[in-house]
């Protein structure tokens, strides 16, 4: 039996009552229940229609499903093409099929909606336990940016990231802003930041009138180039413009080369802040991503590997930094009876309700990481034989969470631009997105220094021109992955040069 989530939820016992099966289909929003024999082979399927007909024929809700008239399940072998799946459904007049392996054991469920409906890039994926924590917040009336869910969420995040302290806030951007404030950098200080990233990495520097120095990516991992960083820091030191900190992004969930970057940071006495917004659940050097810098920040935005709808957290081992971050996140109130404030501060705390969502999501983090890694491997197995395709590599000593699978298409091997691929896929109901536009190409960052990987190569700009991110939601079914692979293959094979 596979560990396919949808499939597991569809399996019902042969002695279950009609009521139990109906509740299960309803709760899991699936069209088909599967009854298996003791060897794991499919005995029959149960649909809403089967149940409706049985009830109309006089069956009672507490009767066992074995009273339903026998019905042969419609099955298809693995790797059946999406178009053929639709044909099979039409031929049998059904809206769902069971995919079985060579031994006749079910390995996936496919329904019509999956084959024709839109597939989103990285939608939220609730684990089922979130609502109980949110309900608890209502029951206790902790409907506030404080309370037991928030305390528990922070404790679990600290443990998860192997840090002494976690401060949960309203977004990853807010967490990075607090990180910059907590470092007490003077206005105008130079901060070395990954060039290939989402704008949320750099906005907090600009809030603080810090000066971003944009460091190109390296080939392969597309994360900050240690060579470019070292050259820029040494050039700055030689011209008396010494930088003040490094802000290192872990792109698409794969860790940057933290070992080399930390060595450079230590040599030059620069604090390292990790923008781990995308990399919760990744591992570097046997420690969690976000366990290495002075401060690290996670995002729980709706598209991230786990979500609180919007939210973030700052983690650190330094009690003074944690205390300062909490103080700045709550309007900078001085510790006196009355409302006294001596510094510019923010209203950045996470709500106790959203922390409840976060608690439920933490329960399933390892499943979500496993699912995204499996999706990456499936894309790789299904596409990497095509010429002109490159997948993001993991840094040495690391294992990424594969939050997004980004592919680079080589314009010398393919006569089609990534945006044309994106539009064609969109017509087939598949959402993809371009790779991040590098900061040095953003109007917002016009005029800031940029250190390319080498004199001849700018990795981030090439990535932007070549890359697309494929759907990687952890609730993506195997059939949906196959549909995406088939669509990409067909577009590329028609456009080989
Ligand atoms: C690399 C990176 N940094 C920062 C952020 C900002 O996080 P948030 O959207 O939670 O503010 C994001 C994501 O949105 C991100 O991907």
Asked whether 395 and 255 are in contact (CB, 8 A), the reply is yes
State which of 173, 204, 346, 357 you would mutate to test the pocket of ligand 1, scoring each by most atoms of that ligand within 8 A of its C-beta.
173
State which of 193, 200, 404 you would mutate to test the pocket of ligand 1, scoring each by most atoms of that ligand within 8 A of its C-beta.
200
Atom number of ligand 1 nearest to Cα 173: 11
How many angstroms separate the CA atoms of 231 and 215, rounded?
10
Residue whose C-alpha is closest to residue 407's, from 389, 423, 424, 421: 389
Ligand 1 binding pocket includes 225 (Cβ within 6 Å): no
pLDDT at 29: 73
Give CATH for domain 365-493.
3.90.1150.10
The pair of structure tokens assigned to 456 is: 């001849």
pLDDT digits (tens, 9 = 90+) for 190-218: 999 999 999 999 999 999 999 999 999 99
Ligand 1 binding pocket includes 277 (Cβ within 6 Å): yes
Q: Any idea what the Cα angle at residue 462 is, between residues 459 and 467, rounded to 5°?
A: 115
pLDDT at 177: 98
Q: Could you identify the residue written with the tokens 């820029």?
A: 232
Ligand 1 binding pocket includes 481 (Cβ within 6 Å): no
Atom number of ligand 1 nearest to Cα 175: 11
Give the Å distances, CA to CA, from 300 to 168, 169, 487.
10, 10, 30
pLDDT at 221: 98
Q: Where are the beta strands (DSSP E) in 294-347?
A: 295-299, 312-316
pLDDT at 3: 53
Asked whether 373 and 401 are in contact (CB, 8 A), the reply is yes
Kindly give the pairing relationship between strand 467-470 and strand 433-434.
antiparallel
**CATH domain 130-363 topology:** 3.40.640
Q: Compute the residue count for the chain.
A: 497
Q: Break the chain into its structural domains and give their ranges.
A: 5-116, 130-363, 365-493
We find that the CATH architecture of domain 5-116 is Roll (3.10)
pLDDT at 1: 45
Residue nearest to atom 4 of ligand 1 (CA): 200
- The DSSP result for 147-170, as a single string, is SHHHHHHHHHHHHHTT-SEEEEES
Counting beta carbons within 10 angstroms of the beta carbon of residue 428, is it exposed (0 to 12), middle (13 to 18) or buried (19 or more)?
middle
Distance (angstroms) between ligand 1 centre and the Cα of 176 equals 9
pLDDT digits (tens, 9 = 90+) for 115-160: 777 899 999 999 999 999 999 999 999 999 999 999 999 999 999 9
pLDDT at 303: 97
Residues of the chain with pLDDT under 70: 1-5, 114
Ligand 1 binding pocket includes 223 (Cβ within 6 Å): no
């Amino acid at each position: 039996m596979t560990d396919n989530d949808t499939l597991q939820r569809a399996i019902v016992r042969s002695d279950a009552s009609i009521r139990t099966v109906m509740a299960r289909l309803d709760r899991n929003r699936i069209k088909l229940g599967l009854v298996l024999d003791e060897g794991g082979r499919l005995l029959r399927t149960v649909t809403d229609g089967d149940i409706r007909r049985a009830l109309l024929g006089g069956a009672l809700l507490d009767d066992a499903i074995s009273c339903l008239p026998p019905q042969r399940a419609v099955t298809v072998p693995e790797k059946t093409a999406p178009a053929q799946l639709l044909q099979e459904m039409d031929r049998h007049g059904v809206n769902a099929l069971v995919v079985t392996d060579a031994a006749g054991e079910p390995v996936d469920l496919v329904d019509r909606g999956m084959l024709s409906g839109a597939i989103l890039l990285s939608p939220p994926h609730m684990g089922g336990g979130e609502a109980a924590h949110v309900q608890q917040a209502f029951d206790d009336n902790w409907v506030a940016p404080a309370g037991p869910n928030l305390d528990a969420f922070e404790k679990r995040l600290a443990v998860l990231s192997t840090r002494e302290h976690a401060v949960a806030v309203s977004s990853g951007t807010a967490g990075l802003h607090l990180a910059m404030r907590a470092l007490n950098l003077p206005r105008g200080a130079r901060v070395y930041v990954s060039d290939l990233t989402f704008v949320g990495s750099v906005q907090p520097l600009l809030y603080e009138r810090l000066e971003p120095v944009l460091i190109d990516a390296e080939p392969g991992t597309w994360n900050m180039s240690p060579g470019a960083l070292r050259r820029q820091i040494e050039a700055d030191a030689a011209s008396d413009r010494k930088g003040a900190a490094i802000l290192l992004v872990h792109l698409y969930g794969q860790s940057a080369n933290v070992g080399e970057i930390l060595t450079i940071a230590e040599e030059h006495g620069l604090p390292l802040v990790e923008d781990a917004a995308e990399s919760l659940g990744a591992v570097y050097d046997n420690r969690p991503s976000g366990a290495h810098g002075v401060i690290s920040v996670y995002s729980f935005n709706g598209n991230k590997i786990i979500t609180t709808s919007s939210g973030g957290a700052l983690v650190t081992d330094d009690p003074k930094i944690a205390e300062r971050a909490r103080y700045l996140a709550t309007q900078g109130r001085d510790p006196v009876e009355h409302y006294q404030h001596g510094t510019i501060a923010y209203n950045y705390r996470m709500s106790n309700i959203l922390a409840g969502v976060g608690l439920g999501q933490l329960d399933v983090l390892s499943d979500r990481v496993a699912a995204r890694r499996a999706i990456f491997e499936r894309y790789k197995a299904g596409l990497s034989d095509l010429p002109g395709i490159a997948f993001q590599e993991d840094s040495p000593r690391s294992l990424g969470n594969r939050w997004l699978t980004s592919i680079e298409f080589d314009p010398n091997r393919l006569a089609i631009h990534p945006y044309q691929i994106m539009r064609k896929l969109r017509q087939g109901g598949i959402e993809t997105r371009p790779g991040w536009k590098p900061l040095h190409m953003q109007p917002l960052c016009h005029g800031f220094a940029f250190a390319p990987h080498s004199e001849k190569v700018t990795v981030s700009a090439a990535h932007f021109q070549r890359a697309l991110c494929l759907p990687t939601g952890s609730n993506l079914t195997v059939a949906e992955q196959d549909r995406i692979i088939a669509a990409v293959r067909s577009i590329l094979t028609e456009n080989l040069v």
